[in-house]
Amino acid sequence: MKRSAQTLLCCAAAVFLAGRTISIQVCRADDKPAEPAGPASFYRQVRPVLQRHCTGCHQPAKAGGKLVLTTYATAKAGGEQGTGFEAGKPDDSLLIEFITGEKPAMPKNAPPLTKDQVALISRWITEGAKDDTPPEVQDTISPESPPVYHSPPVISAVAYSPDGQLIAVSGFREILLHKADGSGLAARLVGRSQSITSLAFSPDGKLLAATGGNPALFGEVQFWNVAEKKLERSATVTTDTVFGGRFSDDGTLFAFGGADNSARILRVADAEQILKFDAHADWVMATTFSVDKKYMITISRDRSMKLSIVETGQFVDNITSITPGALKGGLMALRRHPKKDELLIGGSDGEPKLYKMIRTQARQIGDDFNKLKGYAPMTGRIFSLDFNADGTKFVAGSSTGGTGMVRIYGTEDAKLLHELKGHARGVFAVGFSPDGKHVVTGGFEGKVRIFDAETGSLEKEFIPVTVTPTVAAN
């Protein structure tokens, strides 16, 4: 009797357990079969398959199994397991091995490639695995054939040359050198990077450095010879754009931040990387050096400003408070006082703040000891800051997304000196002229505006590129 009752009960439990089904929904569009006409093309047929199904994981930023499938060369080189493929021998090619079989190992956690896709890749290898990638895919831009604009590009960086004669303005694939009085274009510096994120002249004015790159592809630091309008050196770094470049006061070192959460220092003389600093937890948006270039200071979307030693790369301190909630949102703009080790920052909370660099008192939980001053908050996020030559004033630019704001503050007395009006949309870049008489701004609108820093009035407004109207696309 006992046993039969037991059986009954266990069955009841079994029914309940069986009633709970766990299902996983997988939705994915199936690709159309490739057409087997003529020899298989790497660029037009194989590469799209890799792009759609493989390069999410096998890309420079991730490199699963140390394999990168974004280019022919890296696909051929292979990864941990060996060479990617053997031309003419699909059966000896790892690439084929991984995507075939009863339960193909790849793509991981996704439906296997279709028979047609596998057949296509296999056929391409059989036919010799040739690289038919055109030398400059879709890229018709060069110094000889500079970009043509149908609408003004967003301005993400501006800088005055130390002699006050030029304003460098970011463009698309180029840097535009304008005469500082706004009277016209002096030169176009066309390079490889689509996006220019920061511009800085060397203290002697001989070099113009730009940080930038192609989003999600590569980062680049460019050093231009200003006199000859020639690219002196270029360093390709990381797999995404780099930001916030700054020379040391003696012009020998150049620091910048990256989307890989790192900050780096190059030797200006040969663009050789001498330091990589990895203490940040999010993108590093701006950098600078101490007056004596012993220290590098970096800010990040991780909400912190960090101090590190240039010589060793050693992390010294979080200059800002690390109390949770003390900092609201990421930091985006940083400038060091031209004369001393005081640091001006701006970011998501819209409030410019001044910090001293070196902590002179032990940290206590909850303190913000190094903070010297806070300035009247601006609306939106601060994207850019710049001191005048003696550090008595600074200019700050912000964006709410919808509108922009530019202000000049007195550094010491924290007074709001001028509000520079006329910005219909967000401001991403501001700069003080070396003589302190002018301020230049740029942003979403794609317009350069020059203001009188003494009166706050607009002196000049122009679009830095020639816009060729286009017939409206359908």
Partner 1 sequence: MKSPLRFSCPAAVVACAIGALAGNRLIAAEPPALPPIVELATFPAKLELNGVRDSRRVLVSGKTADGLTVDLTIGSQFAADGEAIALDKDGYVSPRKEGTARLIVKAAGKEIAVPVEVKDAKPVPVSFVREIQPSMSKVGCNAGTCHGAQEGKNGFKLTLRGYDPETDYFALVDDLSGRRFNRSLPSQSLMLLKPTQGVPHVGGFLFDEDSRYYKLIHSWIGDGCQYDNQSRVTRLEVFPTSPVMDLEGRKLQQVVIAHYPDGTSRDVTRDAVFSSSNFNVATVTNTIESSGVVESLRRGETAILVRYEGDYAANQITVLGDRTGFVWADTPEFNYVDTHVNNKLKKMKTLPAELCNDAEFLRRVSVDLTGLPPSLEQVKAFLGDLRDTRVKRNAKIDELLETAEYIDHWTLKWSDLLLANRKFVTEKGVWGYRNWIRSGIAANKPYDKFVSELLTSNGSTFQNPAANYYRISREPTAVMENLTQVFLGTRFSCNKCHDHPFERWTQGQYYQLSAYFAGVGRKPGSLPEEEVVYPLRSPQPVVNPRSNVAVAAKFPFDHSGSAGVDVHGELRDQLSQWLTSKDNPYFATALVNRYWSYLMGRGIIDPVDDIRSSNPASNADLLKALADDFLAHNMDMKHLLRTIAQSHSYQRSFQTNKWNADDGENYSHFNPRRLTAEQLFDAIMIASSSPVTLPGVPAGFRATQLPDPNIQIGFLDMFGRPPREIPCECERAAEVSLAQTLNLINGPTVSEAIIHPQGLIARLLAANTDEKTLIEDLYLSVLNRYPTDPERTTAAGYFLGVASRAEAAQDLMWALMNSPAFLFNR
Binders of partner 1 among 352-381, rule CB under 8 A?
A: 381
User: Binding residue for partner 1 (CB under 8 A) from 280, 293, 301, 418?
Assistant: 301
CB of 280 to partner 1, least distance (A): 13
Q: Binding string to partner 1 for residues 377 to 406, with x set by CB under 8 A, is what? A: ----x-x---------------xxxx----
C-alpha to C-alpha distance for 166 and 199, rounded to whole angstroms: 12
Tokens 């002018």 correspond to what residue?
A: 438
Q: How many CB atoms lie within 10 A of CB 248?
A: 22
CB of residue 171 vs partner 1: minimum separation in angstroms? 8
Q: Which stretch binds partner 1 (CB under 8 A): 48-56, 247-255, 308-316, 448-456?
A: 48-56
Q: How far is the CB of 284 from partner 1 (least distance, A)?
A: 12
Whether residue 31 contacts residue 117, with contact meaning beta carbons closer than 8 Å, is answered with yes
Quickly tell me which residue has 């794609």 as its tokens.
Answer: 446
Residue with smaller CB distance to partner 1, 225 or 403: 403
| Residue closer to partner 1, measured from CB, 55 or 248 | 55
Question: Total number of residues binding partner 1 (CB under 8 A)?
Answer: 75
Of 222 and 241, nearer to partner 1 (C-beta) is 241
Can you tell me whether residue 442 is helix, strand or coil?
strand
Nearer to partner 1, 5 or 365 (CB): 5
Which residues, numbered 174-233, are part of the site for partner 1 (CB under 8 A)? 194-195, 197, 214-217
Residue 28: C-alpha distances to residues 51, 116, 117, 121, 292 (Å): 15, 17, 15, 21, 57
Whether 275 contacts 289, CB under 8 Å: no
Least Å distance, CB 221 to partner 1, is: 17
CB of 295 to partner 1, least distance (A): 26
Phi, psi of 227 (to 5 degrees): -65, -40
Q: Which of 93, 100, 122, 156 binds partner 1 (CB under 8 A)?
A: 156
The window from 33-41, 95-103, 165-173, 249-257 that contacts partner 1 (CB under 8 A) reads 165-173
Binding mask 312-351 for partner 1 (x = CB under 8 A): ----------------------------------------
Q: What is the DSSP letter of 79?
A: B
Binding span for partner 1 by CB under 8 A among 168-176, 177-185, 226-234, 361-369: 168-176
Q: Cβ distance 30 to 49 under 8 Å?
A: no
- Residues 86-145 binding partner 1 (CB under 8 A) are 138
What does the alpha-carbon distance between residue 127 and residue 120 come to, in Å, rounded to a whole number?
10
Where in 6-45 is the site for partner 1 (CB under 8 A)? 6-16, 18-19, 21, 23, 25, 27-29
Calpha distance 272→277 (Å, rounded): 15
Q: How far is the CB of 426 from partner 1 (least distance, A)?
A: 6
Binding to partner 1 (CB under 8 A) within 406-445 occurs at: 426, 428-429, 443-444
Q: By the 8 A CB rule, do 464 and 184 touch?
A: no
Compare residues 74 and 234 and give the one whose CB is closer to partner 1.
74
Own/partner pairs for 268-276, CB < 8 Å, 24+ apart? 268/202, 268/207, 268/209, 268/223, 270/233, 271/221, 271/223, 271/233, 271/234, 271/235, 273/235, 273/237, 275/310, 275/313, 276/313
Nearer to partner 1, 375 or 444 (CB): 444
Closer residue to partner 1 in complex, CB, 90/257: 257
Q: What are phi and psi of 43, to 5 degrees?
A: -65, -45
Subset of 233-272 contacting partner 1 (CB under 8 A): 239, 241, 259
- Cβ nearer to partner 1, comparing 227 with 472: 472
- What 3-state DSSP class applies to 243? strand
Q: Tell me the CA distances in angstroms from 87 to 39, 41, 99, 135, 399, one per residue in order.
A: 14, 14, 17, 21, 54
282 near partner 1 (CB under 8 A): yes
